[in-house]
Structure 1
């Protein structure tokens, strides 16, 4: 682009690299100036030649960035030169100044700019794909940029629904690949949530994960309301959702927003009343829905990562102040019993979670509930290492039902040494094959230390296969659930496991999970009254 040979077999001299960078900065400044001027002149229509000139200018800038990355990441480049890309956030500059600013300009000039926007999207996409192949040091950034470009292409396709779906799939694949590399990044789950429309339950799952990931994406607090608002403003008769999905997501929306709290009881009970028949009717399709509901409920129990959340305070403590004594720091980790708002939020979330536990776990012989069971046990195993956190949930978790289910699984299991071992149960001498819910749990705080370090290293599994269920997974899932049960039982507080009889039981205080004479509706109402919601 600037007269220097930057092929993979030729290094670039320091002087040559300075020339590349000087040319890049010059074109970058011109693009910023032109984009700013065009943004302020929205009433001036451009002709084809003017659009083509703008595209040519931005194409020159993209090639300048390409030359910069090839030169700075050349195998013979010095370590200091290789660090320049990250030091000056060059991948971000390329996206913001070279692509996104111009795409936004084109978007605001639609529909007149449609043809030119398509041209530039394809140009930028091919450039990002080239960088993905040739500059792997920033592979995650290139993946996310390719996902973003796919979303732009999808968003402007109004005529051809098939083409729109193709680009939705392309965008989803790139975001998913990026999340495999940085699973703790909530921003990627936010993008996947947007692409999940019209699957509302999957949207809720991804939005919840975006907020609850170790690196949460704060704009999700607003984006998630695009899912909740239509449900909070209508009744089930006007919704296209399944009745169970409508009730569950609306209940979550009430929890999240604090709106329509007087309708919370009705939505929870509606969901619980229909859940058993819904699981039976959807059969294997509920396996995916089960772990999405489980994870969404767990995120609600954590108040979606709010530091003021009672449970979140105990599992992800705030950093101590520099001048703070250890006593003051320790005191801050104890939830304030007078914090009514957070106490109410936790109790409301517990009501929904507890009702779901009882309905699902009562289907002891149904293998389709096992992904749900697996997911909630991963969560409670993590909390078992934080007694203060577990104390907030232990009374509403159906330990006796869990013990019954575990004993049912033991009836057809005989390799007791595997579930009694501290080692994660896995097949020896085989590439790891994660379960579908493993991918869903990956990146969440409470699954951080659950999986072996190489558990997701099998690159033979493509994106479409991740969430595919195969017959052999049932036995593996049963073993994993039993292993989790034994792991929790090692604390001797919530579950008990007898290594001689190979049976689970519960301490006396958990012998009675729920008053069996009290119907679900009355139970929920009683809990709601206990926190003065009714």
Structure 2
């Protein structure tokens, strides 16, 4: 009725004004699901029937009114997660479907940390991806609330490094120690072990798994102080395009000295192995972060001594070639392609919605989230776009006249 052409504005806005979908979820779906879950295994058959009924109902609403997709995608992901929890035989199948709905929900609600946390819960096979989604959930524009949520998420990782000798394991446990215990000998040991394993990982055959982006995104989250009393202040800073800065900002940032040191030690390794394609996306988002920090001088003052500026300069110089579009990298505007459209890179979607990246992208950059703004089918084409993006960021940082120069 609310979507009939003849309906009045009051009727059309009824669902939104009275939060009917949220109320339907809270009282008509979530509460019965929890009652059924608490009565397992006796209620298993009834729970499966109820999940199937709810899923088909939500699908019909979605078909009838696509404008509600931002809410319905997340609800479909939640319902399918219940199915995943009770259907042990097809757990992986249902996890894939739930992740599909959550990713569509994240495209419609990129600033919502709650959805990123749901994706973290589903990331069982990739520890780096799980840590990425978890940390992103707490540095989104609308972050997930709750220090206890972070601690619970990290608890099962504390002894992991003793069980498996892998780069990813050392990294996630190092972050667990960084967040829960702060500095210490264990953090130094884990960091050194991770740093010794990282070069081999970077040198693997070209991969689309975005591990280097996950790593640097997690590091940036730790620099911002996610899950600590520092974070709300840092989030407030980055919600503005720039700030004049106060002494209080610097002291807040410096509380994360170990995170800062870890972040730029890892960036140094990526820069050292920048001849390998896997390293460049991680360097790209690091440069984007440094550019955004440059607008908050007092925060940059707490980072600048640790940033490997000489290596950054050497990397940027290595990107110049005969087809470098100098007019594009010197322009104040975000670099665009030959069709006056800015192509989207895979890592753009990963940092989209994080509080620090708000002013990096132009308006409507993610208008079409079904794929790239311009199709980038060839790896070489993607590398050209990324190279120009890095050079543009380098030129913009150089314009501050403090850390690097461009002529």
- Alpha carbons of structure 1 residues 468 and 132: separation in structure 2 relative to 1, 3 Å: farther
Could you say which residue in structure 2 is the equivalent of 1:493? Answer: 402
Runs of 4+ aligned structure 1 residues displaced above 6 Å come to: 466-469
- Alpha carbons of structure 1 residues 361 and 267: separation in structure 2 relative to 1, 3 Å: same
- Alpha carbons of structure 1 residues 91 and 134: separation in structure 2 relative to 1, 3 Å: same
Once the two structures are superposed, residues 61-113 of structure 1 have per-residue CA deviations (whole angstroms, 9 ceiling, x without a partner) of: xxxxxxxxxx2333222112223322221111111111111111111111111
CA distance in 2, matches of 1:308, 1:431: 38
Tell me, yes or no, if structure 1 residue 198 matches structure 2 residue 142.
Answer: no
Residue in structure 2 matching 1:472, options 361, 366, 381: 381
Give, in angstroms, the shift of residue 235 of structure 1: 5.6
Could you say which residue in structure 2 is the equivalent of 1:72? Answer: 2
Residue in structure 2 matching 1:82, options 1, 12, 16: 12
Tell me, yes or no, if structure 1 residue 421 matches structure 2 residue 331.
Answer: yes
Give, in angstroms, the shift of residue 431 of structure 1: 6.7
Tell me, yes or no, if structure 1 residue 334 matches structure 2 residue 247.
Answer: yes
The 3-state SS of whatever aligns with 2:199 is helix
The CA RMSD measured in Å over matched residues stands at 2.7
Once the two structures are superposed, residues 503-527 of structure 1 have per-residue CA deviations (whole angstroms, 9 ceiling, x without a partner) of: xxxxxxxxxxxxxxxxxxxxxxxxx
Tell me, yes or no, if structure 1 residue 139 matches structure 2 residue 52.
Answer: no
Tell me, yes or no, if structure 1 residue 368 matches structure 2 residue 278.
Answer: yes
Give the 5 Å matches for 1:431-470: 433-458=343-368, 460-461=370-371, 470=379
Tell me, yes or no, if structure 1 residue 179 matches structure 2 residue 179.
Answer: no
TM-score, normalization by structure 2: 0.91
Gaps of 5+ in 1: 1-70, 318-329, 499-534
Could you say which residue in structure 2 is the equivalent of 1:295? Answer: 217
Once the two structures are superposed, residues 273-331 of structure 1 have per-residue CA deviations (whole angstroms, 9 ceiling, x without a partner) of: 22222322x232386100110111000000016553475564348xxxxxxxxxxxx99
TM-score, normalization by structure 1: 0.70
Give the 5 Å matches for 1:191-270: 191-219=118-146, 221-232=147-158, 234=159, 236-239=161-164, 243-258=166-181, 261-270=184-193
- Alpha carbons of structure 1 residues 363 and 494: separation in structure 2 relative to 1, 3 Å: same
The 3-state SS of whatever aligns with 2:205 is helix
Give, in angstroms, the shift of residue 165 of structure 1: 1.9
Could you say which residue in structure 2 is the equivalent of 1:523? Answer: none
The 3-state SS of whatever aligns with 1:391 is helix
The 3-state SS of whatever aligns with 1:395 is coil
CA contact (8 A) 1:313 1:334 kept: no
- Alpha carbons of structure 1 residues 229 and 180: separation in structure 2 relative to 1, 3 Å: same
CA distance in 1, matches of 2:91, 2:62: 23
CA contact (8 A) 2:150 2:227 kept: no
Give, in angstroms, the shift of residue 446 of structure 1: 1.9
CA distance in 1, matches of 2:178, 2:378: 32
Could you say which residue in structure 2 is the equivalent of 1:66? Answer: none
Give, in angstroms, the shift of residue 203 of structure 1: 0.9
Paired residue total = 402
Q: Point out which structure has higher relative CO (alpha carbons under 8 A, 6+ apart).
A: 2
- Alpha carbons of structure 1 residues 376 and 430: separation in structure 2 relative to 1, 3 Å: same
Moved more, 78-87 or 109-118: 78-87
Give, in angstroms, the shift of residue 356 of structure 1: 0.4
Once the two structures are superposed, residues 388-422 of structure 1 have per-residue CA deviations (whole angstroms, 9 ceiling, x without a partner) of: 11111111001110110010011454321111112
CA distance in 1, matches of 2:227, 2:328: 34
- Alpha carbons of structure 1 residues 453 and 313: separation in structure 2 relative to 1, 3 Å: closer
The 3-state SS of whatever aligns with 1:396 is coil
Gaps of 5+ in 2: none
CA distance in 1, matches of 2:208, 2:403: 28
